[in-house]
Amino acid sequence: MSLEKITDNLILKGGTLIDPHNEKTYNADVLIRDGKIHEIGRFEIPDSCEIIDCIGKVITHGFCDLHVHFREPGREDKETLKTGSLAAMAGGFTRVCVMPNTNPPLDTPESIHFIKKKAEDAPIYIHPIGAVSKGQDGRDITEMGLMHKEGAVAFSDDGLPIQDGGIMRIALEYSKLIGVPVINHAEDECLRDGGHMHEGTVSTRLGLAGNPDLAESTMVHRDLELANYVDARIHVPHVSSAKAVDLIRDMKKHKDDVTAEVTPHHLFFNDEDLRTYDTNLKVGPPIRTEKDRISLIAALKDGTIDCIATDHAPHTIENKETTFDLATFGMIGLESCFGVVNKIMCKESEMNLTKLISLLTSSPRKIMGFESDLFVKGTSAEITIIDPEQDWIFSKEHIKSRSKNSPYIGKKMFGKVLYTISRSHIFKNIIN
């Protein structure tokens, strides 16, 4: 596994191109010259070039993740923009949006500028999401307009849900003027009431405080109604329950600018998996029942949920190697993402691979207003090369994140990211 600068002439030869933006699949070679797409199709091979054999492989757009935590500034012991970028490239991601729950939080124009400036040297594109409220305390609205001018692509208080409906309304009204979505962590804090996992039979048997699905669905319902009332954009993060899916599906029948995401871990696990007391499975919102998991899969297939986002949340060993009730919420997920979702959605749930790729590429890009037509000559190359049929076992060797809090270690994956090309760099995901 290595990150390198790409050569002046790099040819991706013999692969199958999946273009999710134009919904096309075809066989072609790709010539990347000086970091940009120069030719697609059949062409004369330059005298001096590097060739990557892509026979039997898929060449597609670089993945885009709307929900990651890179912890910088303030908790560089967990993750940095640099280590997070490597984790992203290992997972096929060329573009990510970082959440504002840093220390201090991204709640000023200056903090947004800091991220944008520091990210200039990263091998991927990093976009900051600004906090809705100052200090993420849910009381005073931030300078959203100025933060947007500095580069904030959306607004969220992330793991600190906006409990005050009046504040949420104001945030939505401001965001409407700016033209970006509000992303509210959809949990009613009074209803989740310190719960450590999904409230149900399993939590009772394990003796762990439960967090009911009602905590999520109640907040989703409020936020959807507010967004509809002020005619603003709303993006629902990490949907976890069948109740929330039903609410989103109903609202989408008469409101176009509602979008939602689901994480790989909510698609892969159910609450029965927590019987091991694996603290890496302690996440917010919690892993729910098999019925909820099946509902999430169906929602991805029918378009109710628009994209996949990892909610990559690095934590130290000290945060996780403790009793379940004391462990911190969150898991990493960039490096394992494709192997997980390809297994669940394509191999087990019969989703078309092109559709799955669109959920990782063009769909999240369109939600955030990023360019989504990436196979255009002269475009800076953002390309992911995958083997969609490769079986492999996820291990610590595959993790480039500074933190190792993954529940997938030792799990069988289906489909592997082999190369990621971004900003004139190539990540070779090969373990010797």
- Is the pLDDT at 432 greater than 60? The verdict is no
Of 281, 280, 274, 282, whose CA–CA distance to 202 is shortest?
274
- Is the pLDDT at 426 greater than 80? The verdict is yes
**pTM value?**
0.97
Mean pLDDT, rounded, of the chain: 97
347 and 389 share one domain: no
CB 28 within 8 Å of CB 14: no
Helix and strand numbers (H, E) in the chain are: 14, 19
- Confidence label for 46 from pLDDT (cuts 50, 70 and 90): confident
Calculate the CA dihedral of residues 386, 128, 87, 425 and round it to 10 degrees. Answer: 60
Q: Of 325, 344, 368, which closes a domain?
A: 368
204 and 338 share one domain: yes
**What is the domain range of residue 271?**
63-368
94 and 42 share one domain: no
Q: Of 368, 397, 416, which closes a domain?
A: 368
Mean pLDDT of 232-239: 98
- Confidence label for 47 from pLDDT (cuts 50, 70 and 90): confident
CATH at 412: 2.30.40.10
Calculate the CA dihedral of residues 309, 311, 317, 320 and round it to 10 degrees. Answer: -110
22 and 168 share one domain: no
- Is the pLDDT at 176 greater than 70? The verdict is yes
98 and 208 share one domain: yes
Q: Of 368, 393, 415, which closes a domain?
A: 368
16 and 163 share one domain: no
53 and 71 share one domain: no
CA–CA distances in Å: residue 87 to residues 120, 240, 380: 17, 24, 21
Total tally of structural domains belonging to the chain? 2
Tens digit of pLDDT for each residue in 142-164?
A: 999 999 999 999 999 998 999 99
CB 238 within 8 Å of CB 266: yes
CATH at 268: 3.20.20.140
227 and 343 share one domain: yes
- Is the pLDDT at 246 greater than 90? The verdict is yes
Catalytic (active site) residue 311: yes
- Is the pLDDT at 211 greater than 80? The verdict is yes
Q: What percent of the chain has pLDDT over 90?
A: 97
55 and 67 share one domain: no
Tens digit of pLDDT for each residue in 366-399?
A: 999 999 999 999 999 999 999 999 999 999 999 9
259 and 294 share one domain: yes
pLDDT value at residue 431: 67
CB 103 within 8 Å of CB 346: no
Mean pLDDT of 23-51: 94
Residue of 19, 107, 292, 311 marked catalytic: 311
pLDDT value at residue 44: 87
Mean pLDDT of 114-130: 98
